[in-house]
């Protein structure tokens, strides 16, 4: 069975508009950001989406809420998808920091794969936690081929695209992920044979045969993503930050 992954970066936040390092900060979307999210919703309007994933940051959860267009989709909040931590740079203006550091140092911090800002993370470190998420996602899709939406951040989207689009590290670091467009990944996955009550009810149908068994849906999904918060219907406007 073919399945699709729709990956998109959160739409414009108030920090983006002010050119501020966000990282693990939690700014809301701007009016322009909400308009960008509606553009993603139009792109996904005719697509089936069975399960969704997001980090806990408001800019990601709100983008996902708008992009789903009112659809009731089981959603897992997983902070392995959270933005790169910029440490001591968080909350500071990017243009001022670039001017203070100089062009060479700015490039190393902004686009260096292994460079760690003081108190923060490198993209390599982000990649490690995103790859752990992908490993669980791959297990899930092999058992339950379905369509997935992922609302994430600029630097957590890089490793996702690197993995699924088979990019080099250099290509990964050169990516510019737009805030109003999804990236579609088309996969071919085969479900293993179902046993009694071994099914999951998703938006379009149960995936693995037998009787549709809605009461097992959350249990089945959670078994692939242990310890992650599942929001069964749709994302609330406000969620308790994990960080």
* Longest CA pairwise span in the chain (Å): 64
Rounded to whole angstroms, the Cα distance separating 160 from 215 reads 31
Of 60, 115, 117, nearest in space to 94 by CA: 117
Gyration radius (Cα) of the chain, Å: 18
Provide the edge-to-edge strand list for the sheet that holds 75-77.
Answer: 183-188, 2-9, 148-152, 51-54, 75-77, 229-231
Quote the CA–CA distance of 63 and 237 in Å, as a whole number. Answer: 10
Cα(151)–Cα(149) distance, rounded to whole angstroms? Answer: 7
Dist CA 151 CA 157 (whole Å): 9
Catalytic residue set: 10, 83
Burial 197-219 (b: 16+ CB within 10 A, else e): ebbbbbeeebbbeeeebeebbee
């Amino acid at each position: 069975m073919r399945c699709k992954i729709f990956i998109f970066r959160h739409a414009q936040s108030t920090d983006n508009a002010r050119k501020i390092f966000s990282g693990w900060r939690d700014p809301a979307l701007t009016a322009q950001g909400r308009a960008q999210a509606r553009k993603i919703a139009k792109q996904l309007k005719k697509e089936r989406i069975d399960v969704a994933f997001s980090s806990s940051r408001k800019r990601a959860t709100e983008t996902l809420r708008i992009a789903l267009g009112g659809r009731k989709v089981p959603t897992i909040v997983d902070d392995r998808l959270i933005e790169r931590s910029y440490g001591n740079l968080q909350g500071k203006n990017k243009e001022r920091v670039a001017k203070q550091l100089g062009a060479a140092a700015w490039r190393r911090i902004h686009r260096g794969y292994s460079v760690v800002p003081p108190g923060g993370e490198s993209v390599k470190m982000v990649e490690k936690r995103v790859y752990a998420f992908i490993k669980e996602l791959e297990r899930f899709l092999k058992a339950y081929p379905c369509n997935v939406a992922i609302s994430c951040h600029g630097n957590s989207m890089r490793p996702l695209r690197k993995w699924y689009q088979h990019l080099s590290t250099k290509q990964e670091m050169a990516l510019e992920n737009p805030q109003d467009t999804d990236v579609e990944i088309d996969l071919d996955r085969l479900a293993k044979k179902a046993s009694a009550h071994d099914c999951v009810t998703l938006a379009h149908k149960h995936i693995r045969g037998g009787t549709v068994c809605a009461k097992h849906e959350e249990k089945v999904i959670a078994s692939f993503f242990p310890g992650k918060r599942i929001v069964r219907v749709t994302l609330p406007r406000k969620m308790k930050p994990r960080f």
